[in-house]
Amino acid sequence: MDLITRRTLFTAVTASAAAVLTGCAQAPSSSRGQGAAFTAAADLAEPGTTIPEINLKASFPPWGDELLGVAGIDIGYYKAVGITITPEPYGAQQDLLSNLTPLVNGQVELGGGYVPTIANQIDTVKNVVGFAVSDVSYVYRIVAPKGKYRTVAQEMAAGNDFKTALTAVMAQLKGQKLICVDGGSPLFRNTVAEAAGLDLDQDVKVEFLANPDIVKAGFAGQADFLSPSSAGFVVQLQQNGWEPLVDLRQVIDNLPSQDTVPLRFTYSGLVTTTEYAEQNFETLLRFTSVIYRLIDDLQTDPEETAGRFVEYLNSYTGTEITAKELAGTFDNIYSLRNFDEAGDFYTDSDDPFFFDTVATANLEVLSRQGVIKEGHTPDELSIAGKVYEALVRYKKEADKALAAAPDGELKKQAQEQYDARNYLDAYRFAAAANQ
């Protein structure tokens, strides 16, 4: 299967956020509504021998990577860091990728999300930010019934260059209906259409439906050209007689780099409100530690980890994906970044997916196309870089505290938290052992 996905991460809300480590941050009134500008004491958390227990209203949307947290619930990873996900057992079934309202109105406090969704709505939704990243994804594509139309892969295999191949393939859409995801980012379809010399407004009948309805419309013969944005539905279509005419990876690999920078804005992760982040920063650190622990599990044993939540994914979306197929999406649809690799998003300006570069390009394109107003900056979208920075700092402090701590139960518990990527409480327990 040639699968690929879209989505989200989030980074740096302000330069001053580097000091946020205790969860007692507050936003200056001048920044309210402009993103998430944090100010906070730079002190580390107090040493302790227990982890606070909280109930957390969360939502895991019906996408393979955003549902990864469900595996963490079943295996007890959230309980291990004091978090009980409510409503039990698996949180609210709210798709924050297509609708941020449940987050804004307090139905949920955080959940799986996609930063492009925030970018598209930044003029009207000003208090939502990303706080964690799980992967880069490549799901955007246009699919059609297999064998009925020429594909970019076929055209290139016949010796055509990418631009020629894309032009020939997209010409097949003239006068036809293309069904796209309602509320999804327009960048992919706009980019491929422009590169192929196709005017979507004049040449194509573009309609919008939710992902499940796109699949139903395709199977019912209502359209030959679909553009879904969920790995589960992509798998469902491609298992049942559909194939990609063109996909995001082909575009990124073959168009000039400067033309594809905005398209690399495909980070999957977690979102919350600025208010919740200000008041519960340590909870975000603990929650994010579970995500990195689950990524470790996926990289160690993909099929076993996928098997922990594939049944819930299928019941949620109506798909029939096996654990093996779901694990496969983490090889060629979702490009995971573990804790050690994730720093490149925030610190390596040469990385193709460096957040500031990609997010800036994305915002500029959206404003140029009239989707949003001009003048928005990446720091309005995310605090993920600062969450990661805090975890890195706690990891270093935990290393020092563990090295100095006497043997005993507290040191053992600190090491267990450390091995589980919960560097905040690893430090707290080890520091308490030293006292």
Please tell me whether residues 124 and 157 are part of one structural domain: no
C-alpha–C-alpha distance, residues 249 and 204, integer Å: 23
C-alpha–C-alpha distance, residues 353 and 345, integer Å: 6
Please tell me whether residues 132 and 145 are part of one structural domain: no
C-alpha–C-alpha distance, residues 227 and 215, integer Å: 10
Residue 121 above 60 pLDDT? yes
- Do residues 330 and 302 touch, judged by C-beta distance below 8 A? yes
- Name residue 328's amino acid: G
* Secondary structure class of 172 (helix, strand, coil): helix
C-alpha–C-alpha distance, residues 177 and 304, integer Å: 40
H or E segment and range at residue 226: strand 225-227
The answer to whether the Cα torsion of 221, 224, 225, 231 is positive or negative is positive
**For residue 164, what are the contacts with CB-CB under 8 A and spacing of at least 6?**
155
Give the Å distances, CA to CA, from 178 to 50, 170, 193, 245.
55, 11, 12, 12
**Strand blocks (E) in 257-306:** 267-273
Give the Å distances, CA to CA, from 376 to 45, 48, 125, 130.
33, 41, 13, 16
Residue 394 lies in a domain: no
Q: How much of the chain is helix, strand and coil, in % rounded to 5?
A: 50, 15, 35
Please tell me whether residues 148 and 118 are part of one structural domain: no
Give the Å distances, CA to CA, from 55 to 33, 45, 48, 79, 83.
27, 21, 20, 10, 6
What CATH number does residue 354 fall under?
A: 3.40.190.10
Please tell me whether residues 236 and 292 are part of one structural domain: no
Residue 40 lies in a domain: yes
Please tell me whether residues 29 and 112 are part of one structural domain: yes
How many other β-carbons are positioned within 10 Å of the β-carbon of residue 124? 9
Mark which of 229, 263, 297 sits at the end of a domain.
263
The answer to whether the Cα torsion of 305, 308, 313, 319 is positive or negative is positive
- Do residues 189 and 227 touch, judged by C-beta distance below 8 A? yes
- Name residue 98's amino acid: S
Residue 16 above 50 pLDDT? no
β-sheet with 54-59: strand ranges across: 83-86, 54-59, 110-114, 267-273, 128-137, 334-336
Please tell me whether residues 228 and 296 are part of one structural domain: no
Q: Residue 171 phi/psi, 5° resolution?
A: -60, -25
C-alpha–C-alpha distance, residues 50 and 55, integer Å: 16
Range of the domain at 374: 15-138+266-389
Mark which of 263, 285, 314 sits at the end of a domain.
263
Give the model's confidence band at 348: pLDDT under 50 very low, under 70 low, under 90 confident, else very high: very high
Mark which of 371, 389, 407 sits at the end of a domain.
389
pTM for the model stands at 0.79
Residue 132 above 60 pLDDT? yes
* Residue 185 pLDDT: 72
Number of domain units in the chain: 2
Residue 46 lies in a domain: yes
**Chain-centre distance of CA 215, in angstroms?**
22
Please tell me whether residues 48 and 107 are part of one structural domain: yes
Residue 401 lies in a domain: no
145-166: average pLDDT:
97
DSSP per-residue codes, 124-138: T--SEEEEEEEEEE-
Please tell me whether residues 122 and 220 are part of one structural domain: no
Please tell me whether residues 298 and 183 are part of one structural domain: no
C-alpha–C-alpha distance, residues 192 and 156, integer Å: 16
The lowest-confidence range among 72-81, 183-192, 292-301, 305-314 is 183-192
Residue 8 above 50 pLDDT? no
Helix (DSSP H) and strand (DSSP E) numbers for the chain: 22, 11
267-293: average pLDDT:
95
Please tell me whether residues 107 and 170 are part of one structural domain: no
Half-sphere exposure of 245 (CA within 13 A, CB side): 26
Residue 44 lies in a domain: yes
Residue 398 lies in a domain: no
Residue 417 lies in a domain: no
Residue 409 lies in a domain: no
* Residue 42 pLDDT: 67
Q: Which residue has the higher pLDDT, 268 or 184?
A: 268
Please tell me whether residues 146 and 131 are part of one structural domain: no
**For residue 419, what are the contacts with CB-CB under 8 A and spacing of at least 6?**
none
* Residue 37 pLDDT: 54
Share of the chain above pLDDT 90, in %: 65
222-230: average pLDDT:
91
Virtual CA dihedral for 314, 318, 322, 327, nearest 10 degrees?
Answer: -60
R_g of the chain, CA atoms, integer Å: 22
* Residue 12 pLDDT: 28
Mean pLDDT of the chain: 87
Please tell me whether residues 219 and 121 are part of one structural domain: no
* Residue 183 pLDDT: 73
- What are the structure tokens assigned to 363, written together? 């915002």
- What are the structure tokens assigned to 99, written together? 């609708």
- Name residue 10's amino acid: F
Q: Which residue has the higher pLDDT, 223 or 135?
A: 223
90-99: average pLDDT:
89
Q: What does the pLDDT look like over 28-39, one tens digit per residue?
A: 333 333 444 544
